[in-house]
Amino acid sequence: MPRSLPGPDLDRYEWKQLTDETETGYRVAYSVAMLGWDLDAGTCDFLLHFDDQGGHCPRHRHVATTTSLVLAGEHRVTDLLPDGSRRERIKPVGTYGLSTGDAHPHLERGGEAGAVVFFGNHTRNGILYELIDADLKVIAEVSIAQIVELWG
């Protein structure tokens, strides 16, 4: 077995940069590369790239079954707990995760060198995530259909 494998060739994917200037509590800036989806089967796979400048994706909670695999860098997840406290989880390259839905909303970003993370999403009702406001209230649901439409 090889001791070292090359990292993913990120240039082979089409990336879309997403930002949100209305969020003032943290910097929303990340890139998405869609790998594939099947609306009828309720599946959607993509890569997220977090820069090394502290860019996050929006505050959210996974409601679908989600697999993740850290392909490059370090994936940092900050759980937002009901009592107002936070718990940080640091996931190095190679960390695999499987969740049937998150108990707590969270923030995600890269480490000092950024991160690239694979996400595989599986849902029966089409909903993948709930977007959460600063008071931890649900403000929107995000579906596979919406992500595909955004991708265009």
The domain segmentation of the chain, as residue ranges, is 15-151
Distances (CA, A) of 122 to 71, 81, 99: 20, 25, 10
Per the CB < 8 A criterion, the answer to whether 56 and 107 are in contact is: yes
**Helical H segments across the chain, by residue range:** 144-151
pLDDT, residue 77, reads 98
Alpha carbons 105 and 135: distance in angstroms, whole number: 11
Q: Identify the pLDDT of residue 1.
A: 46
3-state helix, strand, coil split of the chain in percent (to 5) is: 5, 55, 40
| Backbone phi and psi for residue 24, each to the nearest 5 degrees, phi listed first | -110, -10
The whole-number pLDDT of residue 24 equals 81
Instruction: Kindly report the pTM of this predicted structure.
Output: 0.93
Nearest to 39 by CA among 130, 101, 123, 151: 123
Question: Would you state the pLDDT for residue 3?
Answer: 55
Query: What integer pLDDT is reported at residue 102 of this predicted model?
Result: 78
Would you state the pLDDT for residue 10?
85
pLDDT at residue 2, rounded to an integer: 54
Pick the CATH number of 15-151 from 2.60.120.10, 3.90.1150.10, 2.60.200.30, 3.40.1080.10: 2.60.120.10
pLDDT of res. 5: 58
* pLDDT means over runs of 10, the chain (152 residues): 65 93 90 95 97 96 97 97 96 96 93 97 97 95 94 76
